[in-house]
Amino acid sequence: MKYLLVIMLSLFGFSKSNAQAKSIHGFKVEALDRSTIDFSKFKGKKILVVNTASECGFTPQYADLEKLYKTYKNKLVVVGFPANNFGAQEPGSNKEIATFCQRNYGVSFPMAAKISVKGSDIAPIYKFLTDKKENGVKSSTIGWNFTKILLDEKGHVIDSFESKTNPMSESITKYLK
């Protein structure tokens, strides 16, 4: 009888994985320095994921991302994901990106290795972040560099913010107070 119920629920699109939102805590990604960023280590903190680029009009947001990270370091982790998907504005190598971020903005928050955040070669973590079928909460569009996605302490998507949203804006910090 139990198996029959499981089969019937599966046929109607219900399953444990769909009923419960997946968590970002299951992901590990390569960092700019070739180490590993293990999202399970961020359990209990909110996570702000941002696709970044070094040659974008929004690049100065690195300064406010760093300020946000330092201001709320007890409850928030910012993770940058360099991507060259928009206007070829992140042409550098991982080493060049790391040097740029440190030299120009003193970035101390985790920075992942360069990935694709949209299209046919989208990185699995961004597929999770932007597809409701994957994250169980909402679909988001990465429309340009510095789009932000906020996750809760359990690793579930809370909200997304367009590039023009400043990292220190009330629309983001209200979740951290």
Measured from the Cβ of residue 68, the count of other Cβ atoms closer than 10 Å reads: 24
Active site annotation includes 56? yes
Alpha helices in the chain (DSSP H): 2-11, 16-19, 61-71, 94-105, 124-130, 132-135, 170-173
Q: How far apart are the first and last CA of the chain?
A: 48
Measured from the Cβ of residue 5, the count of other Cβ atoms closer than 10 Å reads: 9
Catalytic residue among 24, 49, 56, 65: 56
Between β-strands 76-82 and 148-151, what pairing exists: parallel, antiparallel or unpaired? unpaired
Distance CA 130, CA 119 (A): 12
Catalytic residues: 56
